[in-house]
Amino acid sequence: MSQEKVAHKLTYYISDTYRSRGFFCVVFLILTVITQLFSFSQNMGLLFALLVYFWGGGLFIVGAIKEFFKLYIGFNALLSLWGFFVLWFGISGVLQEGNTSNNWAFVDLAFTLMLANFIKAKDVGYLKNSFKFMESLDNFISPSCILVLGEGVYKKVFCEEIKIGDTILLKNSHRLAFDGRIVKGSTLFDENLLTGNITLASKQAGDKVLAGSINKGKDVEIQVLSSKKTSHIARVLDAVKQSENRKLIRVSNLEKTALVFLISTVLIAAFLTYLSLYKYSGNNYYFYVLSNICLFMMIVSPVSYMFSIILPWYYLSKITCKGKIKINDITVLERANNSSKVFIDKTGTLTTGHLQVAEIVPAKDVTEETLMKAALSTQQNAQNIFAFALKEWGIKNKMTPLRISSLELHPSYGALVRSGEDTYLAGRRTWLESKGITVPMPEEEVKKTVFYVAKNNTFLGCIYFTDRLRANAASTVKYLLGLNKRVCLLSGDNTLAISAAAKRAGIKEYFGNMYPTDKSAKINADQNLGESITMIGDGFNDILALLQADASLAFVPTNNLFTSWVDVIIKGKDFTLVKHIFELYNKGWFAVRLNLFLSILLALFCYVLVLNNSIDICLIILGFLALNIFLIFLNSLRLKYE
C-alpha cells in the first residue's frame, strides 16, 4: 500500500487538541498518585482511570475505531488496546479485595496517555507553520499599481480595479502583478522567481512579460492581459495552496512498526501465559489468562515504544553535519530512500548560482589575451555577476586590467571605459548594437550566457559564462545513480545552458525552459506512471515541484517562512550533504529496531521476576521502564558520534 493511500486512512487532530488532552492527563495523573499513596478509596482511583482512558485517550480510541473500519491498524490501535489491557489489570486488582498493588496500573495509564498526547501534539505541530505559509502567499503581490490614463497622466489604484486591456506603468524595482505585453519602452526583467535564471531577461515593446517578474531597468508601460487572480503567478500560488493542503497529510514514524509491535507483544504474552499455567491451581481460568496477558502488555509499555521510535529520529534530525541540514519532517528519510527518481533544479541547486568563464571566443585576428584584458578592464569597478566571474578569472590567470581615465556603468546592460585614446565597450549584445557595433555572431548564441566586447567600434569577440557546479555535485549524482535512482535535471534556463550543466554533472535526462507549473506537471506525470519522486530545489520557482514530490530537499542559506513546507533544508554549499540525507535512513531504522528488541527482551526478564513474586510488581515495572529508557537513550545517542 502506497504511503499516500495509508496517509488518507489515518486520523489526525490539530496539535492544540492533543495538547489539551495531555494537560488533562497530567491533572489526573497527580490525583491518581495521591489516591494511591494515601490509600484513598479504590473506587476513586478506578473513576480517575476511566476518565483518563475515555477522555485523555479519547482521540486515540476514536482514531483507532475509524481506522479499523478502513482496514488499518496503527499507533492509535496500539495505544487504545494497550490502555484497555492496563485498565483491566487495574480493575482486576480492585475486584480482588486487599490487592492494591494493581492500582498502580492506573498511574501508568495516566502517564502513558499524557506522554502520547504531547508527542502527538508535537508530531502534527508542523500544521501551524503550513497555515502561516499559506496566509503569507496572499500578500505576496502588491495590492496596488499605477494606471496610465493618458500621455504622462497616471493614477495609483488597487489591482482589483484594473481591467484586461488597461495600460499600467511599471517602475524600476516593482514586481508585476499581471501578465502583460510591453507597449512602450524597453527594460530588463528579473525572472528568477519564475525560471530560476540568475541573468536578467531583456524585454522590449511587443514582448510578453509574466506576473511575478521584477523590473530591473527603465520604467515601461505594459498592457494588461490578465486579471490579478488569473495571472501566471496567481495560478502558481493557488497551486501551492492546493499542494500544501495535500501534503499536510503524512504518515508518522510511530505508525511504521505499530502493528508488528502490537501483534508481537500479544503473541508473546499469550505464549508466556500458557507456559505459566502449570503454577495455577485456581478455578477462574479465564480470569488468570487475561490477567497475565494484561500484565505483560503493561510491562511492554507504549512509553518504551514511543521512546524507541522518537529518540533515534530526534538525534538524526538535530545532529546533522553540524547544523548544515535541518530536517522539518523526519519521515522524509524513508520517502527519499524509497524514491525511484530524483529531480534536481539547476541554478542555485546543482550549481552555485555564480558564473564562471567557460569559453573565450576572440574575433578574427584578435588574441585571447587582448579580448580578456579589454573585458576585465571594463568591469574592474563593476559589481555584477559577470564582473565577479571576470575578476576571478583575472586573479587566477594573473592578469591586471588597463588603467582607465573614465567609466560609464549602465547596470544590467554594459559598461563603457576609456583608456588613453581607446574606448572599450562590453556587455549585452543589444548594448553594443545600440552603439553602432556589429556583432557577427549567430542568433542562437544569444540563448547562451554571453558577454560581448568591442574596442573603438571594432568587435573583439565574446566570452561564454556558465554556472559552476556545487562542490562534489558530480560524485553525488554518481552515488544516486549507484542506488538505482534515475536522475533528471530541471530548469527554467535555456536548453543549451542546462545541457552543458547536465553533461558536467553526469546527468543524461534534462528539461529546460520550464516554469514552476511545468516542473510540477512533469513530476505529477511521472508519479502517475508509478514513480516515487524526490525533488531537490532552492527557491520559490521550485515550490510547486517541491510540494508535488514525495520528498522535498531545498538548498536555502537561512530559515524563513517559505521554507516551512520543505521536508529538508540544506544550509551548506557542498552537494555531498544530499548524499548524507540518503544515508541517514538505514542508520535510523537500525537503531529503532534495536531499541524495540531491547524493550521486548527486558520485558521478558521483568515478567519472570513478577511471576516469582520476589519483588513488588510496582517496583519491578518502574525499574524496567527506567532501565529500558536509559538503554534506548544510550543506543540512540550513539548516532551523534557515528
List, edge to edge, every strand of the sheet that includes 214-215: 201-203, 187-190, 214-215
How far is it, in rounded angstroms, from Cα 301 to Cα 112?
A: 8
Contact present, 591 and 319 (Cβ < 8 Å):
no
- Averaged pLDDT for residues 57-64: 89
Lowest mean pLDDT among 17-26, 29-38, 374-383: 29-38
* Residue 229 pLDDT greater than 70, yes or no: yes
pLDDT in tens, 130-166: 555 555 555 667 788 899 988 888 898 888 888 999 9
Phi, psi of 407 (to 5 degrees): -145, 135
Cell (9 digits) for 560: 524563513
- Averaged pLDDT for residues 81-105: 69
Cα-Cα-Cα-Cα dihedral sign, residues 505, 507, 508, 511: negative
For the chain, give the mean pLDDT: 81
Cell (9 digits) for 78: 496500539
How far is it, in rounded angstroms, from Cα 619 to Cα 108?
A: 12
Strands 214-215 and 187-190 come out as: antiparallel
Beta-bridge partners for 189: 201, 215
245 CB-near residues (< 8 Å, 6+ apart) = none
How far is it, in rounded angstroms, from Cα 226 to Cα 67?
A: 46
Instruction: pLDDT band for 515, please (50, 70, 90 cuts).
Output: confident
DSSP 111-157: HHHHHHHHHHHHHTTHHHHHHHHHHHHTTSS-SEEEEEEETTEEEEE
Rounded to the nearest 10 degrees, the angle between the axes of helix 75-95 and helix 285-299 is: 130
- Reported in sequence order, the residue ranges of 556-616 that DSSP labels E, i.e. its strands, are 568-570
Lowest mean pLDDT among 218-222, 436-440, 493-497: 493-497
Strands 568-570 and 551-555 come out as: parallel
392 CB-near residues (< 8 Å, 6+ apart) = 356, 357
Strands 414-419 and 406-410 come out as: antiparallel
Exposed, middle or buried: residue 90 (CB in 10 Å: 0-12, 13-18, 19+)?
Answer: buried
Instruction: pLDDT band for 642, please (50, 70, 90 cuts).
Output: low
Cα diameter, the chain: 116
How far is it, in rounded angstroms, from Cα 142 to Cα 4?
A: 36
Short-list 256, 178, 249, CA closest to 212:
178
Per DSSP, 640 falls in state G
Predicted local distance difference test score (pLDDT) of residue 138:
55
pLDDT in tens, 282-317: 556 655 666 667 677 767 788 888 999 888 888 877
How far is it, in rounded angstroms, from Cα 537 to Cα 520?
A: 12
Per DSSP, 319 falls in state S
* CB atoms closer than 10 angstroms to residue 629: 18
Cell (9 digits) for 187: 527594460
Lowest mean pLDDT among 158-162, 271-275, 299-303, 632-636: 271-275
